[in-house]
Amino acid sequence: MPFTALHADYGRLDATLSDLGHQLDWAHVHKARPRPPLVCPQCEWGLHAKVSRYGVRFFCHDPGRPPSCELSNESWEHHMLKLELAGAIREAGWFAELEVAAADGSWRADVMATSVDGTQRMAWEAQLSPITNDDIEYRTERYRAEDIRVCWVSPHKKPPQWISAVPAVRVRAPEGRGGGWMVDDGLAGFNYAAGGWGFREEQLQKFVRWALHGQVVSVESYPRYRRVPRVVDGKQLRFRRGRWWTSLQSAEAQTRHESMRRRQEAAKEEREALQRQQKEEAERKRKELEEKERIRRAEEAERRHQKAAEEARVHMEAWERRWAEEKAQREREKAEKAQRLAQEQAEREERERQAVKAATVWWGRLSAQQKKELLAAVTERAWREEKLWVTIPDNPLMDPAYAYGVPLYTRGKRRRSLYGIVRPCPSLIAASPRAREEHALVRSAQEAKELQEAGHEGRITHFDLPEHEQLSMY
């Protein structure tokens, strides 16, 4: 969305100027027939004039434009900031040209300000995309090589890292109707009494005028003054700034304060040198006294050494006794722990033995024929009432996890799922939480009653099978 276009007859047209820079009416290019020959200054693709819904005039690329064209890839915020800068430059009495490129293509300024007499130029760059300090310093040096001043402008809320590397400011867009763009970072004044810089906010239009007329200049902050306090959202913060736009008076005040500080440091160093000399003299006298007492101190040190050796011996004997006692205590605790673990293991094995015994008695109440009959009744009911195919294993096994009942599973296309538990042992229900909640399948109402009385909480299905001869499992 460029603001400039190249006309085959008139040359460069500027949509931000009322006469397009050539005493032409907007109607000469906007919806004119035949269509005027307009191309992009950068990619030379065809352009046509347009007006946004906010009344902003600009040029738009025809379909099929090259994706690498920087002018067409700039955001709306970028364009509005360039428009604001151009307006401020013209308000200050200078000429403003948008999207001006060097003859050799080494640089392209978003807005180029030129004094009335043509002797001064200053580039204004709206920088929204990320850029490294090295790249922005290199681009700044290209301007300086052609005697062009430059100011980089960022509209982002967070200050960019390069704001201290090159002449730059951060601006804030209008917060409501009637408001104006404000410079809220990069502009400062030096407080000589406080000995430091202070942030200063100012209207962008006024700042542009000051910068063009040399009322503010970009100066480097001396290392001592680079940490600057500022209140942000009610919090006292400190920012590091190595460069400011400021008045000549503030620049001079920083220099004078630095000179004063250096004089104070020089005086301080002189005082400290005198103090060191006095301390050295006192040290010499102190050493003379130390030499006289050296023998006495040596004898006293020997006595202290002997006393310390005796105390160390006593301490070592006490430590060895404590270590022996602690070792014996650890051995006792280790033995007690081993005994406790063995007892717990025996208790677990006893519980398992009792569980197996109870399950054996429970299943011993059925003959092999009764077991087959019950399993067949389960599969028949699952298919008849629920259309589920229940798999009966070749060798049904009691599962301790389900109170030594036999788990049966349905067979699906992808995976199997638990259908129910056949005859979980009532006396083991309390110790089997999983069996207590699963679907239980038993032969008779009597077995169902036993499970309920044992605390089974899930569904119980009995098949009311006839009582046949009970065979022992032994």
pLDDT tens, residue by residue, 158-176: 999 999 999 999 999 887 7
Rg (CA), the chain: 47
Nearest-5° Cα angle at 398, 438 to 471:
115
On the question of pLDDT at 40 being above 70, the answer is yes
Among 23-32, 178-187, 378-387, the range scoring the smallest mean pLDDT is 23-32
- How far apart CA 75 and CA 50 sit, in angstroms, is 16
First to last CA, the chain: 95
Q: Cβ(456)–Cβ(438) under 8 Å?
A: no
Amino acid at 331: E
> Which pLDDT value is given to residue 433?
87
- How far apart CA 194 and CA 44 sit, in angstroms, is 56
On the question of pLDDT at 145 being above 50, the answer is yes
On the question of pLDDT at 470 being above 60, the answer is no
Q: What is the pLDDT of residues 430-461, one digit of tens each?
A: 888 888 888 999 998 998 998 999 889 889 99
Nearest to 151 by CA among 175, 121, 181: 121
- How far apart CA 153 and CA 125 sit, in angstroms, is 6
- How far apart CA 30 and CA 28 sit, in angstroms, is 6
Tokens of 474: 């032994």
Nearest-5° Cα angle at 159, 156 to 161:
120
Nearest to 254 by CA among 327, 307, 190: 190
Amino acid at 474: Y
Q: Cβ(212)–Cβ(92) under 8 Å?
A: yes
Q: What is the tally of helices (H) and strands (E) in the chain?
A: 8, 23
**Burial of 378: CB neighbours in 10 Å, binned 0-12, 13-18, 19+:** buried
Helix (H) or strand (E) holding 114: strand 108-114
Residue labelled with tokens 């077991």: 371
Comparing 5 with 209, the larger pLDDT belongs to: 209
Average pLDDT in the 115-121 region?
Answer: 94
Q: What is the pLDDT of residues 63-101, one digit of tens each?
A: 767 776 666 556 778 888 888 899 999 999 999 998 888
Q: Cβ(168)–Cβ(151) under 8 Å?
A: yes
Q: In 3-state terms, what secondary structure has residue 26?
A: helix
Fill in the DSSP letter of residue 427: G
- How far apart CA 161 and CA 393 sit, in angstroms, is 73
Mean pLDDT over each residue of the chain, to the nearest integer = 87
Tokens of 388: 């589920």
> Which pLDDT value is given to residue 68?
64
Tokens of 132: 């490294």
On the question of pLDDT at 41 being above 80, the answer is no
Q: What is the pLDDT of residues 220-256, one digit of tens each?
A: 999 999 999 999 888 999 999 999 999 999 999 999 9
On the question of pLDDT at 422 being above 90, the answer is yes
Comparing 396 with 23, the larger pLDDT belongs to: 396
**Burial of 217: CB neighbours in 10 Å, binned 0-12, 13-18, 19+:** middle
Q: In 3-state terms, what secondary structure has residue 108?
A: strand
Q: What is the pLDDT of residues 368-391, one digit of tens each?
A: 898 898 899 999 998 998 888 888
- How far apart CA 124 and CA 205 sit, in angstroms, is 13
Burial 229-241 (b: 16+ CB within 10 A, else e): eeeeeeeeeebeb
